[in-house]
A and B are shown apart, each in its own frame.
Chain A
């Protein structure tokens, strides 16, 4: 099954129109961030409403380095590192919090980040960074959507693989254990604090990598590219697909991206009011989240899997 999906994901880009390719790339970027969020929420049991902060940090890391003449490839590699580093720095204090307190703290962090970026001259303020170069890998410039589509696909495969390998290991078992019974996990030798920080950093690195690719793909960055709504979108994707399931994260990212795209097309038709797209997407997140939590609380993929073993 996973090979069929992988082959399909590899073949599809060549068949898409330019507009559809953009959706494909954005879907892949969301998928990376959501795989990270699903690792954090589903396996380690930590809720984050600020995952898009790390997308932003990755994007700005790559963007700022590029603006200062650092080769884009190095910037792309620095993106996940910058995001992970930021996660470690903020994680030390805030990971003492649990549940909804942690969720609000991550949300607050994103609001602070956006306001700092919006006011910082070195980051271009509210206008942001413009005219970022295309990514070039050993002299080969990626200047077409199709190339970014494959870069993103590689990123999704890589993050998925890392997550799968991590989850099915000693560390992964420790993470899952501390999510439901931290006291017993610690008594078994699991360094609970260090593992919480680790998974927060890994999850941030995935989002950061997505941000780095985004920076070179779109070519400009502004605080407005990473609204709180994006973090909420990631959470909805993870929950709808099914927490603690990698395929669920991928499925959730795909489903929500496509539904939102459909609605945007609908809402930008002539005659629709200008606020229609954002109102519709908020409404969709809300309705989907409520429906899933009420009727399919485990998420779509785990539920389907349990029904047809």
Chain B
């Protein structure tokens, strides 16, 4: 399988502290790859480096055959990297459907002039965007909420809305930041089913997750971080018996 995302020797320092040191991993086409590790392992730093919210101190990030580590976030989105954040607020003052529609920005182009003149492109894209949002909301189980203000959604549904927004950009690589945290049993298994379904449709997924059971069920491969370094990678069956991983979890915060 060919690698869609390649992280090579990535280091990120905050002052004198290494949040990440020489981290490497890759996500293949159609693969679900999980990054796990105790608190402070550098998972969310890695996530932000790939999304473009943070810049790497050293190292490269390649995506689809080209370097993306210098690109601003919106250009990474245009290339097909979508993010469902853990804690990002929804877009307030907009409906649930409009929130999802924002995600389509990555795959549409109509500019301000097209909007003001209501050009054919604007009309065509609006129809596409509307259809994509309806489809994405249906997929994450929010179809019935479409016209409600997004800030009225309960937390679990706001998480689902993040996912719908990300899907609206028709990504090839989906970054999921602890999607299961704070979700209860049924919500959690619904989410797991959705992620399996997304993988089935050929999407590559990078999952940063705390919940080991969730990872065991979904991930093709797992990369384990501890104190900013990769301490193990491989299938879940392999890393769960890796002495370094066991030591990190037993000696760490958990």
B112 partner residues in chain A, CB cutoff 8 A: 166, 169, 171, 198, 202
Known: A171-B111, A188-B103, A202-B112. A181 touches B88 (CB 8 A): yes
Task: Report the count of interface residues on A (CB-CB < 8 A).
Answer: 28
The answer to whether B77 touches A188 (Cβ under 8 A) is yes
Of the candidates A177, A179, A180, A189, the one having the most CB atoms from chain B within 10 angstroms of its own CB is A189
Q: Is B67's beta carbon under 8 Å from chain A? A: no
Docked pose: A169 CA to B73 CA in angstroms: 22
Alpha-carbon distance between A99 and B102 when the two chains are bound, in angstroms: 23
- The listed residue (A169, A191, A202) touching B74 by CB distance below 8 A is A191
Looking at the complex, which one of B52, B85, B104, B110 makes contact with A184 (CB distance below 8 Å)?
B85
How far is the CB of A176 from the nearest CB of chain B, in Å? 6
- A184-B91 in contact (CB<8A): yes
B108 surroundings in chain A (CB, below 8 A): 170
Task: Give chain A's interface residues, CB within 8 Å of chain B.
Answer: 162, 165-166, 168-174, 176-177, 179-181, 183-192, 198, 202, 244
Nearest-CB distance from A97 to chain B (Å)?
19
Question: Can you add 20 more A-B contacts, CB < 8 Å, to A181-B90, A187-B52?
Answer: A165-B115, A165-B116, A166-B116, A169-B110, A169-B114, A171-B111, A180-B93, A181-B91, A184-B83, A184-B89, A185-B91, A187-B82, A187-B83, A188-B74, A188-B77, A188-B105, A188-B165, A188-B169, A189-B105, A190-B102
Which residues of chain A come closer than 8 Å to B209, judged between CB atoms?
A: none
How many whole Å from B49's CB to the nearest CB in chain A? 13
Contact: A190 with B105, CB < 8 Å? yes
Which one of B53, B90, B105 lies within 8 Å of A174 (CB-CB)? B105
> Is the Cβ of B94 less than 8 Å from the Cβ of A187?
no
- Tell me the complex Cα distance, A8–B239, Å: 75
| Neighbouring B residues of A165 by C-beta, 8 Å | 115-116, 118
What's the nearest-Cβ distance from chain B to residue A295, in Å? Answer: 20
Whether B126 and A170, one on each chain, are in contact in the complex, defined by CB atoms closer than 8 angstroms, is yes
Q: With the chains together, A174 CA to B126 CA distance in Å? A: 13
User: Are B91 and A169 in touch, CB under 8 angstroms?
Assistant: no
Closest to A192 in B: B74
List the B side residues contacting A186 at CB < 8 Å.
52, 72-74, 77
* Chain B: minimal CB distance from A173 (Å): 5
Structural contact, B53 and A183, CB atoms closer than 8 A? yes
In the complex, which residue of chain A has the Cβ closest to the Cβ of B98? A173
B179 contacts chain A at the CB level, 8 A cutoff? no
Q: Which residues of A contact B88 (CB under 8 A)?
A: 181, 183-184, 187
For the complex of A and B, list the 9 residue pairs with the smallest distance between their C-beta atoms, beginning with the closest: A189-B106, A169-B115, A189-B77, A189-B105, A186-B73, A184-B88, A177-B91, A180-B92, A177-B102
Please give, as numbers and ranges, the residues of chain B lying within 8 Å of A198 by CB-CB distance: 112
Cβ–Cβ < 8 Å partners of A202 in chain B: 112
Residue of A nearest to B112 (CB): A171
**A173 to B105, alpha carbons, bound, how many Å?**
9
> Nearest B residue to A190 by beta-carbon distance?
B105
